[in-house]
Structure 1
Amino acid sequence: MKDVKSVLSSALVWTFVISTLCITFLGFVMFEATKASVQVTRDGEHQLIRTHADTVEELLSEMNVTVGSYDQLSHELSQPITYGMDVEYTASKSINLTIDNKEGRYHTTAATVGEFIEGQELDLKARDYISHDSGSSIEGGMSLEVAKAIQVKLNDGGEKQNVWTTASTVGEFLEKQNVTLDELDKLNVSKGDKLHTDIPVSITRIEKVTEIVQEELEYTVITQKDDSLPKGEERVVSDGEVGMVTKEYKVTITNGEESDRKLVRETVEKESKDQVVALGTKVEKVETASEAEPKRVTVPAEKTDQESTVRTVATTKTASDAPSIPSRDSDSGVKTLHMKATAYSADCPGCSGITATGINLKENPEQKVIAVDPNVIPLGSRVWVEGYGYAVAGDTGGAIQGNKIDLFVPSKGEANSFGHRTVQVKILE
Structure 2
Amino acid sequence: MNLKSKLPTVFKHKVFMPVVTVLLLLVVVGFVGLEVTKKDIAFTHNGETQTVVTRAETVEALLEELEINPSEDDYLSHELTTNISSDMEVEYKEAVEVVVNDQANTTTYMTTASTVGEFLETENIQIASHDELSVASDEVITDTLTLDIDRAAKVSITDGTNETNAVYTTADTVEALLKEQQLELSDLDRVEPGIDKTVTADMTVDVIRVEEVTDVVEEEVAFSTVRKNDSSLTKGKEQVVTSGSNGLVEKRYTVVLENGEEVSRELVSEDVKKEAAQRVVAVGTKAIQQAPSRGTSSAVAGKTITVEATAYNWNCATCDGRGLTATGYNLKANPDGVIAVDPSVIPLGTKVYVEGYGYAVARDTGGAIKGNRIDVHLSSISAARQFGRQTVKVTIIE
Q: 5+ unaligned residues in a row in structure 2: which ranges?
A: 1-18, 226-241, 280-327, 334-398
Q: Secondary structure at the match of 1:117?
A: helix
- 1:204 and 1:127, CA in 2 relative to 1: closer, same or farther beyond 3 A? closer
TM superposition score normalised by structure 2: 0.53
Q: Out of 102, 125, 130, which is 1:127 matched to?
A: 130
Q: Determine the C-alpha separation between the residues in 1 that align with 2:186 and 2:26.
A: 97
Change in Cα spacing, 1:23 to 1:170, as seen in structure 2 (3 Å) is farther
Letter paired with 1:63: L
Match of 1:260 among 239, 264, 275: 264
**1:173 correspondence with 2:177:** yes
Aligned to 1:408: none
Give the aligned partner of residue 92 of structure 2.
89
Instruction: Give runs of aligned pairs for residues 151-170 of structure 1, distance below 5 A.
Output: 151-158=154-161, 159-170=163-174
Deviations 1:130-179 (A, max 9, x none): 11111111111111012333322223334422222233444443343334
1:112 maps to 2:107: no
User: 1:274-312, CA deviations, whole angstroms, 9 ceiling, x for partnerless residues?
Assistant: 699xxxxxxxxxxxxxxxxxxxxxxxxxxxxxxxx8989
Distance change (3 Å), C-alpha of 1:111 and 1:204: closer
1:59-102 CA distance string (max 9 Å, x none): 12332322122110011122221122211111111011011221
Percent identity, aligned pairs only, is 34
Q: What is the Cα-based RMSD across aligned positions, in Å?
A: 4.4
- The answer to whether residue 243 in structure 2 is matched with residue 251 in structure 1 is no
Deviates more, 1:84-93 or 1:150-159: 150-159
Contact 2:58 2:80 in 1 (8 A): yes
Between Structure 1 and Structure 2, whose CA radius of gyration is higher? Answer: 2
Contact 2:99–2:108 (Cα < 8 Å) also in 1: yes
After TM superposition, give the deviation of residue 244 of structure 1 in Å.
6.3
- CA distance in 2 between counterparts of 1:215 and 1:21 reads 134
Aligned counterpart for 1:53 among listed residues 44, 52, 56: 56
Q: Deviations over 1:163-196 (max 9, x none)?
A: 2223344444334333444444444435554433
SS at match of 1:146: strand
Please name the residue that 1:138 is paired with.
Answer: 141
Large movers: runs of 4+ above 6 Å: 19-26, 219-222, 309-314
- Alignment correspondent of 1:202: 205
| Uncovered stretches (5+) of structure 1, i.e. residues with no partner | 1-15, 223-236, 277-308, 315-429
The letter of the residue matching 2:77 is: S
Q: Secondary structure at the match of 2:164?
A: strand
SS at match of 1:265: strand
Q: Is contact 1:43-1:91 (8 Å) kept?
A: yes
3-state SS of paired residue (1:173): helix
Q: Say if 1:24 and 1:244 are closer, same or farther in 2 by CA, change over 3 A.
A: farther
> Does the C-alpha gap of structure 1 residues 139 and 271 become closer, same or farther in structure 2, counting only changes over 3 Å?
same
Matches within 5 A, 1:358-373: none
Partner of 1:350 in structure 2? none
3-state SS, counterpart of residue 90 of structure 2? strand
Q: Does residue 1:74 correspond to 2:77, yes or no?
A: yes
Measure, in 2, the Cα distance between the counterparts of 1:28 and 1:156: 89
Equivalent residues of 1:220, 1:313 under 8 A apart: no
TM-score when scaled to structure 1? 0.49
